[in-house]
């Protein structure tokens, strides 16, 4: 239904843009600009498996978002792009076929907090209880 509406809107926009423009005396024979809107749906087959977690940089699922597709085990978030992820997680959404485990310390040590399938947590600092800093995580597929 949405796709059909988008196609109709694109066709209407295209028709409006292709209407003749007022004639202006010009020395160069150049075409009028054409604007074309094409609806695009991007899907990733890995996400359709349902084993994923999305992390947001701000409370209540706002800000920058990063997606982890499982199964995955990150023993430390101190290297590479994972270091940025460690600093910027404040809310999380877990897919329908995944369980997310976040750990207080690297190498999957000490306290762990589990997020079951289809869970959403809009404020991790409250939920974690260990300062909101995640040092390691596992994403297990079911």
Model pLDDT for residues 21-31, shown as the tens digit of each residue = 555 555 677 77
Strand pairing report for 136-141 and 98-105: antiparallel
pLDDT digits (tens, 9 = 90+) for 48-88: 889 999 999 888 999 988 889 989 999 988 766 565 566 67
Q: Which CA distances in Å does 28 have to 19, 22, 24, 32?
A: 20, 15, 11, 12
Alpha-carbon radius of gyration of the chain: 23
Q: Could you identify the residue written with the tokens 């101190």?
A: 78
What average pLDDT does the segment 119-124 reach?
A: 91
Model confidence, pTM? 0.66
What is the rounded distance in angstroms from the CA atom of residue 105 to the CA atom of residue 115?
Answer: 17
What is the rounded distance in angstroms from the CA atom of residue 124 to the CA atom of residue 114?
Answer: 12
User: Within a 10 A sphere around the Cβ of 76, how many other Cβ atoms?
Assistant: 17
Strand pairing report for 136-141 and 72-74: antiparallel
What is the rounded distance in angstroms from the CA atom of residue 45 to the CA atom of residue 133?
Answer: 31
First-residue to last-residue Cα distance in the chain: 31
């Amino acid at each position: 239904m949405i796709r059909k509406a988008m196609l109709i809107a694109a066709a209407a926009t295209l028709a409006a843009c292709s209407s003749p423009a007022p004639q202006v005396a010009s020395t160069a024979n150049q075409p009028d600009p054409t604007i074309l809107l094409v609806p695009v749906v991007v899907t990733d087959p890995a996400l359709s498996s349902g084993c994923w977690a999305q992390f947001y940089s701000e409370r209540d699922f706002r800000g920058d978002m990063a997606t982890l597709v499982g199964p995955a085990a990150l023993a430390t978030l101190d290297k590479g792009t994972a270091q940025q992820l460690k600093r910027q997680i404040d809310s999380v959404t877990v897919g329908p076929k995944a369980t997310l485990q976040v750990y207080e310390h690297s190498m999957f040590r000490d306290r762990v907090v589990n997020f079951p399938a289809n869970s959403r947590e809009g404020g991790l600092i409250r939920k974690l209880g260990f300062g909101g800093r995640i040092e390691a995580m596992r994403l297990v597929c079911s």
